[in-house]
Each structure stands twice: as C-alpha cells, then as structure tokens.
Amino acid sequence: MDEKEKSLKEVDIKKSIKIDASSDKKVITIIAATVIVIALGLFGWFYYNNNLKPVVKFDGGSLTTSEFTIYYKTFAPMLEYYGYAAADIPSQIANKAGVDKILLMKAKEAGITLSDDDKAKVEEIFKDEAQIKKFTKDGIDPNKMKQLYYNDYIITAYIEKIKKDLPDEEVATYLKTTYGETVDMNEFITRHILFSTIDTQTNAAMADDKKAEVKVKAQAALARVLAGEDFAKLAKELSEDTGTKENGGLYKMYLDENTATQYRDAVKTLAVGATTTALVETSYGYHIIKLDEKVAGGRVHSDTDRNDIASKKIDEMGKSMNMKIDEVLLAKVVETITGVKAKTTDDSTGTTDTNTNTNTNTDTTTDTQNKTPAQ
C-alpha cells in the first residue's frame, strides 16, 4: 500500500469513527428522551391517581382524590365525635364534598364572590402560626385549607341567597304540606325577662335552694312589670338572657319546635300588648313574657323553615346532576389516608347514587348563633 492509499484509508477510518460516535450520541439521546418520557408518564399516572382521579362525579364536574383527602382529614374527626359509624364516614364526607363542589359551581354561575370581610376573616385565621403548624402536623396543606375556607364562605353566601329568593308562596305551601293546613302561620314578636336557673359553673340545673332564691327575684321583677314599669327597660336591667337583653328582651318566634313548649303555650294565651301575670318556667329558668305584636302570615319569613326548604333544594341538586361516588376508589383513598382497609360497596358498578341529606353547613356543625334561653 503506497502512502496515498494509506492516507485515504486513515481518512475513511476517522470518518467511520465520527459517524459511529455520532450514531451513539443519537442513540443515547433517544434512550434518555424515552426514559424521561416514561418517567414523566409514570409521574403523571401516579399524580393523577393520587391527586386528580375523581372520587365523585357529577354533570359538569368532579371531586378529585386530592380534594377529598383534605375534606376527610378535616371532617372525619368531627363525625367521629358526633357518633357517626366509622363505616359510614367516608361516604358522608364524599357526599358533603361533592355537594360543596356543585354549590360552588352554582354560586359562581350566580355571580357570588368572596366578600372583603369574609376574606379578611380567613386571612386572620391563617396568620396564626400555631394553627398553621396544626394543619401541617395533621398532613393538611395550609394553602389548600385556606381555599376550603374561602369556598365555604362563598357556599354559605349562596345558600343564604337561595333562602332569601324563596317566594313567600312557596314557603307557605311547604309549611302547609309539611305540618298540615291548620299550621299556625303567625309570627309572634315577644319580649321576655329571664331569671336563669342554670348553674353557670356546671351548666346543670341549680340546686333547689338556689332556684328558690332566683324565683324570689323573678317574682319581684314580675310585680314591677304588673305595676306598669317599662318592660323593655326592665329587660335591659334585669334579664339574664345575653342574646336578647340589650334589645329589651326582644324575641321573634313561631309556634314551632325552636321555642320551649312552656314559652309557646304562654304566648298563645296572650293578647297583643299583654304580659303574663305569672312566671313561666322552662328548663332555662323563670320568664316574664310580653306579646308586642302578632304578624299574620309572618312565618313565611322563618329562617328555620327557609333553611329546611333550601336543604331540600340542595339535595335535589345532587340528584338532578347525577352525582355518584366511586366507592372502590373511595375505599382505596381512605385506606391510603388512614392505613386501615376500608369496606367497599357490593354494587357491581363500584359507584353509588347520593340521595342522602348533604347540606354542607348543617350536618357537622351546631348552630348556636340565634339560640336564646327561650329556645
């Protein structure tokens, strides 16, 4: 081989080496890209299953596993406290969370937004470092919990809108259908002076000797009322009902179960402007009662009755929007959260319709804002 041929051969070998090296780089790049794609795909699959897969579906939306998880961690201890059966808790919470999402969607459609005042209340809660640490300790993302608080205020505002927008005729029809044509439709505007017989230290009924002392004070007050002193002024001075005291004992009521039986029975005997001539005893203590006004048909404005109607409408939303729980997935999610294997439905489809009461703001909380000793 002469020098020229040798030189050409070396060039061919070098080209071959470069081509092979280039091919290796392409292969490595392709393999690396494939690994990344597979890794991202697996990550996406795991993320979807652990966070985005729907536990609850309804027309136009769903509740993801991630969203259910924060509801479960928030409400499961509450339901346990109120005595719900452990096996029922996951479905109860899934019901609540699913209906919440429907209500949130409806609220947005109705133009309901978070008010500045409500936002400030939430922000104040999340300024508390101890509260943030508790959320974190419980495995709850504080940012997600904050959003849950925001959503709850929006949902509450929407429910209030439902109640407010109910036509009086619809409420009247509901009352007559539920309680019979003879239901008392009046609103009674009363005033009362309460002398409490509840022991403030034990929250139980007072001992007989203490109760006798209270009765003596109540009798003295009744004598002042019957002598013609201004009832509202006496209520401000003497009443031990902190919920009505500052308004001169003002208490609007209806002949329903929200007011103590003895109080209702006394009011039914009073003419407008009249006062009870004897003390009225309830489990709260001794009352002196005056009927200021009786509003014909006024019960259509009852917040309690409007709340009942709103609850029924909310239930109907879940049904009309075909809300269903994936019981199999629900069991798996609960098992992941608690480490305890949960029971699943025997339904062959693995889903259940949600026809139980799911009012988000009344199932797991006790409303005490409007309670008075008359109730």
Q: How far apart are the first and last CA of the chain?
A: 116
pLDDT reported for residue 188: 98
Of 159, 289, 168, nearest to 218 (Cα)?
A: 289
Q: Which residues of 103-113 are buried (b: 16+ CB within 10 A; e: fewer)?
A: bbbbbeeeebe
The mean pLDDT of the chain is 84
pLDDT reported for residue 354: 58
pTM for the whole thing? 0.72
pLDDT reported for residue 47: 40
| Structural domains of the chain, ranges and CATH numbers in brackets | 54-168+304-353 (1.10.4030), 186-296 (3.10.50.40)
Q: Look-up: residue for tokens 């070098």?
A: 14
What is the C-alpha separation between 219 and 212, in angstroms, rounded? 11
Phi-psi region of 325 (alpha: psi -120 to 50; beta: other; left: phi over 0): beta
What is the C-alpha separation between 70 and 68, in angstroms, rounded? 6
pLDDT reported for residue 371: 43
pLDDT reported for residue 318: 87
Residue 84 has pLDDT above 70, yes or no: yes
pLDDT reported for residue 140: 87
pLDDT reported for residue 1: 55
* 285 and 277 Cβ atoms separated by less than 8 Å: no
Q: Which residues of 39-62 are buried (b: 16+ CB within 10 A; e: fewer)?
A: eeeeeeeeeeeeeebbbbbbeeeb
Sign of CA dihedral 260, 261, 262, 265: positive
Residue 150 has pLDDT above 50, yes or no: yes
Of 310, 358, 304, nearest to 166 (Cα)?
A: 310
pLDDT reported for residue 341: 75
What is the C-alpha separation between 232 and 238, in angstroms, rounded? 10
In tens, the pLDDT along 251-265 reads: 999 999 999 999 999
What is the C-alpha separation between 76 and 94, in angstroms, rounded? 11
Output phi, psi for 48, to 5 deg: -60, -50
Residue with the bigger pLDDT between 365 and 135: it is 135
Structure tokens at 334: 């609960």
In tens, the pLDDT along 309-352 reads: 999 999 899 889 999 999 999 999 999 998 887 554 444 446 66
- Return the percentage of the chain with pLDDT > 90, whole number: 69
What is the C-alpha separation between 147 and 136, in angstroms, rounded? 15
Listing DSSP states for 47-106 in one string gives HIIIIISEEEEETTEEEEHHHHHHHHHHHHHHHHHTT--TTTHHHHHHHHHHHHHHHHHH
What is the C-alpha separation between 48 and 67, in angstroms, rounded? 12
Residue 360 has pLDDT above 70, yes or no: no
In tens, the pLDDT along 92-125 reads: 999 999 999 999 999 999 999 999 999 999 999 9
- Compute CA 10 distance to the chain's CA centroid, rounded to the nearest angstrom: 82
